[in-house]
């Protein structure tokens, strides 16, 4: 496995796809400093050297196959995996947990609610669906394999590593700052390309997400590594773009609700506005996010929910 150096000063980014969409750089180990790395993958995996041959991971990839690829990187470099620190419990970040834990005996840590979801993966599709999830939602992209997880607290981190609370995208999401001033930001931000393509990105708490983005916008580090965007020395422009998009979505929902509307009408209008295609999975993901926006706008006094003919209406 070739270990490449991430060139911080020209913000080098490993393209994940060729022009025809073929995967070319997945699971390539990128060196940032002597002790800080990341694995280029659909959701970047952080790797920190904590000793001569000991490492810890920040997240584990999206499934067992991802875990196998990570294990291959560890073996090729002679590294022993001591721990995995999960930023949050979404399946694309914890999907490799079970395989790596069985193969290495490593400890796994997650914070608060994220630990509960990682140990009880059925909670994720159940939460999204609002009940016992249909079979359409019981797949590896929404439901990882169970792993044994310990509470993520400051005392369990390697020396010099700091946990950064990043709630909003998920309930108790956390990022990490290393002793070499490298910050791993999990899913606190979406890339410009993702915002332009999908418009509405998943979140559970709009106000918490905005507060997190404001905090991130003011952070300083030698390099920021978001899970789904380019590593960069200056995170402020992307944070500002994400903040702007959240307010834009809020304004669109208010516009829709200028005529009293049911939830399903609001959701349909959002899909039509952004030319999105409704599927069972997207109904759950975007639907959950839309409900979070409705809560936020109601808390601000900008929306009023009421019932008409046994139908919940928003205006």
Ranges of each domain in the chain: 3-249, 252-314
| pLDDT in the model for residue 26 | 85
Cα-based angle 123, 128, 130 (whole degrees, multiple of 5): 85
115-120: long-range contacts at Cβ-Cβ below 8 A with a sequence spacing of 24 or more? 115/89, 115/149, 115/150, 115/151, 115/152, 116/89, 117/89, 118/86, 118/89, 118/94, 118/144, 118/146, 118/147, 118/149, 119/146, 119/147, 119/148, 119/149, 120/146
Summarize pLDDT for 257-315 with one digit per residue, the tens: 999 999 999 999 999 999 999 999 999 999 999 999 999 999 999 999 999 999 999 99
Please give the radius of gyration of the chain, using alpha carbons only, rounded to the nearest integer: 20
CA distance 57 to 47: 5
Summarize pLDDT for 99-122 with one digit per residue, the tens: 999 999 999 999 999 999 999 999
Copy the structure tokens of residue 146. Answer: 């169970």
Which pLDDT band holds residue 20 (cuts at 50, 70, 90)? very low
Q: Evaluate whether 180 touches 121 at the Cβ level (below 8 Å).
A: no
CA distance 111 to 152: 5
Which pLDDT band holds residue 135 (cuts at 50, 70, 90)? confident
- pTM, two decimals, is 0.92
How many residues in the chain? 315
**Which fold would CATH assign to domain 3-249?**
Metallo-beta-lactamase; Chain A (3.60.15)
Cα distances (Å, whole numbers) of residue 37 to 6, 94, 121, 145, 185:
8, 18, 28, 26, 14
| pLDDT in the model for residue 11 | 27
Q: Evaluate whether 189 touches 175 at the Cβ level (below 8 Å).
A: no
Summarize pLDDT for 60-89 with one digit per residue, the tens: 999 999 999 999 999 999 999 999 999 999
Cα-based angle 309, 310, 314 (whole degrees, multiple of 5): 85
Q: Is the pLDDT of residue 21 over 60?
A: no
Laid out side by side, the sheet with 305-308 consists of 261-262, 311-314, 305-308
């Amino acid at each position: 496995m070739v270990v490449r150096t991430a060139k911080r000063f020209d913000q080098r980014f490993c393209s994940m796809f060729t022009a025809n969409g073929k995967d070319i750089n997945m699971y390539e180990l990128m060196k940032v400093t002597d002790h800080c790395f990341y694995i280029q993958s659909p959701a970047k995996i952080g790797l920190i050297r904590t000793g001569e041959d000991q490492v810890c991971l920040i997240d584990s990839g999206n499934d067992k196959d991802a875990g196998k690829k990570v294990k291959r990187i560890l073996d090729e470099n002679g590294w022993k995996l001591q721990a995995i620190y999960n930023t949050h419990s979404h399946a694309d970040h914890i999907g490799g947990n079970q395989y790596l834990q069985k193969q290495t005996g490593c400890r796994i840590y997650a914070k608060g609610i994220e630990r509960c979801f990682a140990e009880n993966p059925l909670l994720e599709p159940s939460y999204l669906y609002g009940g016992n999830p249909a079979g359409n939602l019981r797949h590896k992209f929404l439901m990882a394999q169970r792993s044994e997880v310990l509470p993520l607290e400051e005392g369990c981190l390697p020396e010099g590593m700091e946990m950064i609370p990043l709630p909003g995208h998920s309930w108790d999401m956390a990022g990490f700052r290393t002793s070499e001033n490298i910050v791993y930001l999990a899913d606190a931000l979406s890339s410009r390309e993702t915002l332009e393509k999908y418009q509405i990105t998943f979140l559970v708490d709009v106000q918490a997400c905005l507060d997190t983005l404001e905090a991130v916008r003011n952070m300083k580090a030698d390099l920021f590594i978001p899970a789904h965007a380019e590593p960069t020395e200056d995170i402020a422009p992307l944070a500002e773009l994400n903040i702007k998009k959240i307010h834009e979505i809020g304004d669109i929902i208010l516009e829709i609700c200028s005529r009293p509307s049911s939830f399903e009408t609001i959701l349909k209008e959002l899909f039509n506005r952004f030319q999105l295609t409704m599927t069972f999975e997207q109904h759950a993901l975007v639907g959950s996010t839309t409900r979070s926006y409705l809560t936020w706008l109601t808390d601000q006094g900008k929306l009023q929910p009421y019932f008409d003919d046994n139908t919940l209406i928003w205006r």
